[in-house]
Structure 1
Amino acid sequence: MNIKSFSRLLLLASLWGGSFLFMRISAPVLGAIPTAFGRVAFGALGLLAILLVMGVRLSFEGRSKAVLGIGIITSGVPFLMYSLAAMVLPAGYSSILNATTPLMGVVIGGSFFGEQITLKKLMGVAIGLSGVFVLTETGPVAMNVATILAVMACLTATLCYGFASYLTKRLITDHTRIDNRVLAFGSQLGAVFTLAPFMVWQTYNKPIAWAHIGIEVWLSMLALGLLCTSFAYILFFRLIAEIGALKTLTVTFLIPLFGVFWGWLLLGERLSVGYALGGGMIGVALWLVLRPTSRPPHPLAPRTD
């Protein structure tokens, strides 16, 4: 990986780590539904503008229903779950829990899609779940019903992400070649349609005093949609093209570092030994799951024993 690609990887990690900061600023003021809806709405508009500027053809290649449907589990539900969690949990807390996404992918792949679960991956899942337990027991947030529900919301989001990769392949990429950037836009559009009814309900039953919303909340929502979603998706797919999917997934190791750092730096969130213990265990689990499997020797290769 050259220095430019590594710099882009760090930038992507800082943006996705920053998303938990911006949700933590916006959700307690606006509520979970407006925060999630605002993110996907700004994200869709930002991606549309980028695609038009880049001259990308906006075509779903006859798979528009599948693309929009995938948006429910890639953005709609996860962003709502993280917004709900942001009303209770510190930004660093949620970013560490987000790192369990590859572990969920292992469990889901083995349970529903016939993927082989190796002993190494099984150990990774076990260590990762133990890390979640350690984090919730020793982290800086008091354990109560609200905290447990917030942690479950984060894990629900990672569960959606775990399903998303397999369903995207089966429903879309196995049938046609859609530009990944258009797929990203379609997923945000699908999330907009998913969350719109909830936003209408929120507006009717619990109207927000928009005139009294502080500038920091508006800036957080713009950053959440345009930087952490629109620009981050473009950066993500560029990295996949440059260094491959596996190396790009190492961003998962870096996101918690930035999530904890931004929360400490800008929100004054308290650090604790729980971050180090729980986050460290989840990091080890990710290494076990994402580490490339060594190839068996070629049948004609000379023996070395």
Structure 2
Amino acid sequence: MPPSGRTDAGALPPAAIALMLLLSAVWGLNMVAVKVTSAGIPPVLQAGLRSTLAALIVPLLCRPLGLRFGDWRRGGTLAAGVLAGALFAVEFIALYIGLSLTTASRAVIFLYGAPFWVALGTHYLVPGDRLTRAKAIGLCIAFGGLVLAFADGLRAPVGPDALLGDLLCLVGGALWAATTVLVKASSLRRAPAALVLQYQLIVSAPLLLLASPLLGEAWVIDPQPLVVGAFLYQAAGIAGASYLAWFWLVSRHSASRLAAFSVLTPVFGVLAGALLLGESLGVGFLLAVMLVALGLWLVNRPAG
């Protein structure tokens, strides 16, 4: 039985759906933030510095919210926490290398196959979070809407290493899913969300900072105000507040239903790009959003 206050089975309550919509919008804007920050900080170094700063910020966020950390020396969470942090680091390394080899549209499609991996993992490893027919159909429809939203970009010419880039982005999505399933299927499920997040930040920070020079990145930072602002948004808003909220949700609700909402993230990213960077929207974008919404409704229908 899940601990008191945790309701893993059944459809997501309205409050959880509202929070996931907010998180998807925040993560969608993060795509723009990463792009802006990359103009002044190399990507893997950026991820390492983000984890480092977020690890310092999270305790400051927890105090006013009354969130506790628990004791990492008890509860048997250390091994699972270290593994989660390692998965988190390798996910970003695979994603950033993949992005450099393939197009952004193709990267999005392969990365956001993650909800399928989460649904399969929880089906076999997490009691009460089964992959029903309605959930499977909903995931397919939502993913179809995502493909439609990026259809124009998928037709763009690609380089000779695009297939390798696609594969790395697929691996990144699978590792993202593996981390989510690990949190639900291991002792981390009983740990406070703040402790789960700190494991990932503290373990991933040195791994990412070590990987940066090994991947040939020059540690040269151009601290333009826009770059610094976008980086702080990532560290405090994304790796700090939003991930803390995400792990709080994962500890209490169906991981597969929550993960399905992540397909909205690139949709919000497109909208953010249109509003902030002046990027154009494809003709089928509205239809794509409708398909995603329909798919999410099917995923979140109560099992009957």
TM-score by length of 1: 0.73
Q: Which runs of 5+ in 1 are unaligned?
A: 295-305
Q: Which residue of 1 is the match for residue 8 of structure 2? A: none
Pair 1:206–1:139, CA change in 2 (3 A): closer
Q: Number of paired residues?
A: 286
CA contact (8 A) 2:32 2:269 kept: yes
Identify the match of residue 34 of structure 2 among 2, 19, 23. Answer: 23
Q: CA deviation at 1:67?
A: 0.3
Identify the match of residue 166 of structure 1 among 177, 181, 201. Answer: 181
Q: Which residue of 1 is the match for residue 80 of structure 2? A: 66
Q: How far apart in 2 are the matches of 1:132 and 1:152?
A: 18
Larger mean CA deviation between 12-21 and 192-201 belongs to: 192-201
Matched, 1:293 2:303: yes
| Bigger helix fraction | 1
Q: How far apart in 2 are the matches of 1:131 and 1:154?
A: 19
Q: CA deviation at 1:150?
A: 4.7
Aligned-partner SS, 1:143: coil
Q: How far apart in 1 are the matches of 2:165 and 2:278?
A: 20
**1:1-305 pair list within 5 angstroms:** 8-27=19-38, 29-51=40-62, 54=66, 56-60=68-72, 61=74, 62-73=76-87, 75-84=88-97, 89=103, 99-109=112-122, 117-124=131-138, 126-127=140-141, 130=144, 134=148, 137-139=151-153, 142-145=156-159, 149-173=164-188, 177-201=190-214, 205-210=216-221, 212-237=222-247, 244-245=253-254, 251-252=261-262, 254-273=264-283, 275-276=285-286, 281-294=291-304
Pair 1:144–1:132, CA change in 2 (3 A): farther
Deviations 1:26-63 (A, max 9, x none): 23543331122122222222213334665734522242
Q: How far apart in 2 are the matches of 1:252 and 1:35?
A: 22
Q: CA deviation at 1:165?
A: 2.7
Q: How far apart in 2 are the matches of 1:58 and 1:116?
A: 30
Q: How far apart in 2 are the matches of 1:182 and 1:85?
A: 30
Aligned-partner SS, 1:142: coil
Q: How far apart in 1 are the matches of 2:226 and 2:50?
A: 15
Q: How far apart in 1 are the matches of 2:213 and 2:278?
A: 34
CA contact (8 A) 1:33 1:83 kept: yes
CA contact (8 A) 1:93 1:260 kept: no
Q: CA deviation at 1:185?
A: 1.2
Letter in 2 for 1:165: T
Q: How far apart in 2 are the matches of 1:276 and 1:147?
A: 28
Pair 1:171–1:20, CA change in 2 (3 A): same
Letter in 2 for 1:15: V
Larger mean CA deviation between 31-40 and 15-24 belongs to: 31-40
Q: CA deviation at 1:267?
A: 1.9
TM-score by length of 2: 0.73
Indicate the RMSD between aligned Cα atoms, in angstroms. Answer: 3.9
Deviations 1:43-101 (A, max 9, x none): 2222133346657345222422320211222x3233334444555655x8866765433
Q: CA deviation at 1:240?
A: 6.5
